[in-house]
């Protein structure tokens, strides 16, 4: 017997080019996915994928299978969406793609609040630094800074006002003058940040319409804000964060903010998604909650 989930699995592997990545998208183990595809290939009597230790690619039969099955699966899933849209109690799983800092900012006010209101729904959050095509990669929603939202998506601003914060520990500043302008950072030890593409992040500042980027130097390079925060708390150097990641430390006196006048408000985070004719009930109530949060955030700004 053929299962719809097996056909979805074939498309996921084709899309991602990797059993491991497809398994993560589908919420299953790589071995379970491999076994499911092997069973499907046995039932069909053909190989759908060429597998090596380094790559996965469709066979000729696999390409024809994907080409012919894809439109049918879209129709089937649209029909399922139409039925689910009539649910009185939202159920199912919502998949959200975002980046780590944004995930921390929206987790409590949006995602956890949603789970409290609708315990029958599950939420799968994937954080990654690189931008992805949420439709092609099988996500219901994306969360990014407003300028990075694709123009063909519906976007809802969510979360509080955002800005960067440059901070140091009181211990670090005991024997050093705090920076007064961004160029002063060149005389300080700073926690450097590596971007997902491998490039070094230049600290960005703006004041009175003047934009400045500083390529800081320092004893350690990290790629995760939680690690950089530890280094700053340990007086290794000055750090550059989203304000939300260090606000509690600033308010408690564990960290001291510098160059505040050079870090103006930023574009808001946006929840975005493609237009759907008959979205499932879970999808609709999640959008409703996001709009509720957007109204609340706009009143508090």
The answer to whether position 87 is within a domain reads no
Residues 242 and 123 in one domain: no
Q: What one-character DSSP code corresponds to residue 238?
A: B
End-to-end CA distance of the chain: 56
pLDDT at residue number 299: 59
The pLDDT of residue 203 is 96
Which structural domain, as residue segments, surrounds residue 96? 92-159+268-300
Of 34, 53, 82, the domain-final residue? 82
63 and 110 fall within a common domain? no
Is 168 in the same domain as 155?
A: no
Domain boundary among 21, 47, 82: 82
Output the domain CATH number for residue 100: 3.40.190.10
The pLDDT score that the predictor gives to residue 300 is 56
Q: What is the pLDDT of residue 15?
A: 86
Rounded mean pLDDT, 26-49: 88
Residues 54 and 125 in one domain: no
Q: Are 135 and 266 in contact (CB under 8 A)?
A: no
Same domain, 256 and 169: yes
pLDDT at position 25 is 77
Is 60 exceeded by the pLDDT of residue 268? yes
**Judgement on whether residues 281 and 141 belong to the same structural domain of the protein:** yes
Structure confidence at residue 85 (pLDDT): 63
- For residue 275, tell me if it sits in a domain: yes
Higher pLDDT, 279 or 119: 119
- Phi, psi angles (nearest 5°) of residue 57: -145, 155
* Tally of domains within the chain: 3
Residues 168, 244, single domain; the answer is: yes
Strands 56-58 and 49-51, bridge-based pairing: antiparallel
Domain assignment of residue 20, yes or no: yes
| pTM (2 d.p.) | 0.65
Q: Evaluate whether 269 touches 133 at the Cβ level (below 8 Å).
A: no
- What pLDDT was estimated at residue 87? 63
Cα gap 244→113, rounded to integer Å: 18
Is 90 exceeded by the pLDDT of residue 56? no
Dig out the tokens for 301 from the structure: 């700004």
One domain for residues 29 and 64: yes
Question: How high is the mean pLDDT of the chain?
Answer: 89
DSSP strands (E only) in the chain: 49-51, 56-58, 92-98, 121-127, 141-145, 154-158, 164-168, 191-193, 203-207, 210-214, 220-222, 239-242, 256-258, 269-273
- Residue 249 falls inside a structural domain: yes
pLDDT at 208: 86
pLDDT above 90 as % of the chain: 48
The C-alpha atoms of residue 166 and residue 267 are separated, in whole angstroms, by 18
- pLDDT at residue 188 above 70? yes
Is the pLDDT at 2 greater than 80, yes or no? no
**172 shares its domain with 253:** yes
pLDDT band at 51 (very low <50, low <70, confident <90, very high): confident
How far apart CA 173 and CA 111 sit, in angstroms, is 38
Residue 293 domain-assigned (yes or no): yes
Instruction: Specify whether 247 is located in the same domain as 291.
Output: no
Report whether pLDDT(120) > 90. yes
For residues 103 and 171, state if they share a domain.
no
66 and 204 inside one domain: no
More confident residue, 107 or 277: 107
């Amino acid at each position: 017997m053929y299962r719809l989930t097996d056909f979805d699995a074939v498309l996921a592997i084709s899309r991602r080019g990797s059993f491991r990545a497809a398994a993560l998208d589908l919420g299953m183990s790589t071995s379970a996915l491999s076994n499911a595809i092997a069973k499907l290939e046995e039932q069909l009597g053909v190989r759908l994928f060429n597998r090596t230790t380094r790559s996965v690619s469709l066979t000729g039969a696999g390409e024809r299978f994907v080409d012919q099955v894809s439109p049918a699966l879209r129709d089937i899933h649209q029909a399922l969406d139409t039925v689910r849209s009539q649910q009185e109690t939202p159920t199912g799983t919502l998949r959200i793609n975002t980046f780590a800092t944004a995930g921390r900012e929206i987790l409590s006010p949006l995602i956890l609040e949603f789970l409290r209101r609708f315990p029958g729904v599950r939420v799968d959050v994937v954080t990654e630094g690189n931008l992805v095509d949420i439709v092609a990669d099988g996500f219901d929603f994306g969360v990014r800074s407003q300028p990075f939202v694709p123009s063909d998506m519906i976007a809802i601003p969510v979360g509080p006002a955002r800005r960067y914060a440059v901070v140091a520990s009181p211990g670090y500043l005991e024997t050093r003058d705090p920076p007064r302008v961004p160029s002063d950072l060149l005389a300080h030890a700073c926690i450097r940040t590596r971007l997902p593409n491998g490039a070094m992040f230049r600290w960005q500042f703006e004041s009175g319409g003047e934009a400045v980027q500083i390529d800081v130097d320092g004893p350690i390079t990290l790629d995760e804000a939680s690690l950089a925060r530890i280094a700053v708390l340990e007086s290794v150097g000055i750090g550059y964060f989203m304000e939300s990641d260090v606000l509690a430390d600033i308010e408690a006196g564990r960290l001291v903010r510098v160059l505040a006048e050079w870090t103006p408000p930023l574009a808001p985070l946006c929840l975005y998604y493609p237009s759907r004719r008959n979205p499932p009930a879970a999808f609709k109530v999640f959008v409703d909650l996001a709009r509720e949060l957007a109204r609340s955030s706009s009143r508090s700004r």
